[in-house]
């Protein structure tokens, strides 16, 4: 991220004052989220309901401050909303709410749900004939310990589903996994990138494969 963009995002992120506990989680996702919205996703504030829009599902919904900051920077929500995140009448809750926030695809926060929802989303899009529409899901490394992920990983591989899962690897998982994150995704294409290098992130996210794709972003 260049200095101007970094300054803008840090300014926006600093306005989100109500979620101190999950600040590290927000910072770890900021670069990937920015690359997605600035360079990759086919979605704008005017096309949030377009049937053929690209989808991003934030499975890592317990630390949404960076997500909100990027949505504000890209014009999906007013910047002023950031000042009252978590307020009793604020649309910006500690978990994102798709019914209140333009551009949010799913309500998340309970870990382990996003990948399964993304598989269902991609399957539905394929059934409707939206073959150029891409589905992305952003996960944290620790939530891979939730069992539901293993079913989604296996099913997506079995039907060669066009989906991109991005795992933010900040080494916060309690259990870890022998061989690292990639071995948890058998029969997926895998890219491992520096989660702060925007060009690396973009190259990985632009990969279009005939099988599901895992991007591990190390931060």
pLDDT of residue 111: 80
Tell me the C-alpha distance between 196 and 194, whole Å: 5
Residue 145's pLDDT is 86
Does residue 73 carry a pLDDT above 70? yes
DSSP 161-172: --EEEEEEE-S-
pLDDT by residue (tens digit) across 121-171?
999 999 999 999 999 999 999 889 888 999 999 999 999 999 999 999 987
Whole-Å CA distances, 50 to 2, 47, 57, 157, 202: 31, 5, 16, 27, 23
pTM over 0.85: yes
Q: Name the residue among 217, 42, 39 with its Cα closest to residue 125.
A: 42
Q: What is the Rg, in whole angstroms, of the alpha carbon atoms belonging to the chain? A: 16
Query: What pLDDT shows up at residue 6?
Result: 58
| Among 8, 16, 12, CA closest to 84 | 16
Beta-carbon contacts of 20 under 8 Å, excluding residues fewer than 6 positions away, are: none
Q: What is the mean pLDDT of residues 6-31?
A: 64
Query: What is the dihedral sign for C-alpha 153, 174, 16, 8?
Result: negative
Q: Which CATH superfamily is domain 3-218 in?
A: Thiamin diphosphate (ThDP)-binding fold, Pyr/PP domains (3.40.50.970)
Least confident of 11-25, 71-85, 127-141, 167-181: 11-25
Mean of the pLDDT values across residues 65-92?
91
Q: pLDDT per residue over 171-217, tens digit each?
A: 776 666 777 899 999 999 999 999 999 999 999 999 999 999 999 99
pLDDT in tens, 41-56: 999 999 999 999 999 9
Residues 85, 102: Cα–Cα separation, whole Å: 15
DSSP string, 3-21: HHHHHHHHHHHHH--S-GG
- Identify the helix (H) or strand (E) that includes residue 138: strand 135-140
Q: How far is CA 182 from CA 13, 18, 70, 176, 195, in A?
A: 30, 34, 28, 12, 15
Mean pLDDT of 89-111: 90
Q: What is the pLDDT of residue 175?
A: 67
pLDDT number for residue 204: 98
């Amino acid at each position: 991220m260049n200095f101007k963009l970094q300054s803008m995002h840090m300014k926006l992120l600093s306005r989100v004052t109500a979620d101190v506990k999950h600040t590290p989680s927000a910072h770890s996702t900021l670069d990937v989220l920015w690359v997605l919205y600035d360079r990759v996703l086919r979605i704008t504030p005017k096309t949030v309901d377009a049937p053929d829009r690209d989808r991003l599902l934030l499975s890592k919904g317990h630390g949404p401050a960076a997500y909100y900051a990027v949505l504000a920077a890209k014009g999906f929500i007013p910047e002023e909303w950031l000042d009252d995140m978590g307020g009793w009448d604020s649309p910006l809750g500690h978990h994102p709410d798709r019914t209140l926030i333009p551009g949010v695809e799913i309500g998340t926060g309970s870990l382990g749900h996003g990948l399964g929802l993304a598989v269902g989303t991609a399957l539905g899009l394929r059934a409707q004939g939206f073959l150029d529409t891409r589905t992305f899901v952003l996960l944290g490394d620790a939530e891979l310990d939730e069992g539901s992920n293993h079913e989604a990983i296996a099913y997506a591989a079995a039907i060669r589903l066009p989906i991109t899962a991005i795992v933010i690897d900040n080494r916060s998982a309690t259990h870890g996994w022998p061989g690292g994150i990639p071995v948890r995704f058998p029969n997926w294409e895998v890219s491992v990138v520096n989660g702060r290098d925007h060009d690396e992130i973009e190259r990985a996210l632009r990969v279009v494969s005939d099988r599901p794709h895992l991007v591990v972003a190390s931060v």
